[in-house]
Amino acid sequence: MSLKTKQGPNAQVAIKKRSRVPGVMITQYLEILPAGKTTPDFTRKPMAVTAQEGKKGLFKAIVSGEPAPTVTWARNNGELNEPEKYTTRYDQRSQEHFLEIINIKLDQAGAYKCLATNEYGQAVCTAHLNVIEVGVKKKAPAANGDAPLDFRKMLKKT
């Protein structure tokens, strides 16, 4: 745990805490939390997604905290405020938060952040989207002497 503070009338504390879940960074805003209140944390963090270009990708996360945290999604190198490309939703029954990436393009590959925030802190984790390119053809063997060797023929010659 590390502690950073600002001096003055608007003093704020930023305490870095460990999560029970590896890969999650928690920042606590108050030095001492009120009874029954907690900073956000991930019960299940989003996992890496590998999807084919043109298909859908789905990140899922379950968070905890008191009061219940607000979940937002961000991208390291781009915005997610394009509803034709990205939709977010929450399933009350399963308590899962979703980021759905519609009609995946190659330029959408990369790191995505899930942020869970309440008045006492913030939990952040990152998951990667890997995109498989469609329509990539193997190179035809060269017509000149660069053709692959047939080892069976080579063995017969010896």
Tens of pLDDT, residue by residue over 58-77, are 999 999 999 999 999 999 77
Enter the DSSP assignment of 138.
P
pLDDT at 135: 79
DSSP-assigned beta bridge partners for residue 135: none
β-pair type (110-118, 13-18): unpaired
SS3 (DSSP) at 26: strand
The pLDDT, as a whole number, for residue 9 is: 41
All residues at 6 or more sequence positions from 38 whose CB lies less than 8 Å from its CB, including other chains: 64, 65, 66, 120
Q: For residue range 92-127, what is the model confidence (pLDDT) as tens digits?
A: 999 999 999 999 999 999 999 999 999 999 999 999
10 Å CB burial of residue 14 (0-12, 13-18, 19+) is middle
Strand partners, 52: 132
Tokens of 55: 């298909």
pLDDT of 79 reads 74
Topology, domain 33-133: Immunoglobulin-like (2.60.40)
What's the pLDDT band for 27 if we cut at 50, 70, 90?
very high
What pTM, to 2 d.p., does this model score? 0.76
Q: Is the peptide bond before 148 cis (omega within 30 degrees of 0)?
A: no
β-pair partners for 3:
15
Residue 93 token pair: 């029954």
List the domain boundaries for the chain: 33-133
The secondary structure element, H or E, covering residue 156 is: helix 151-157
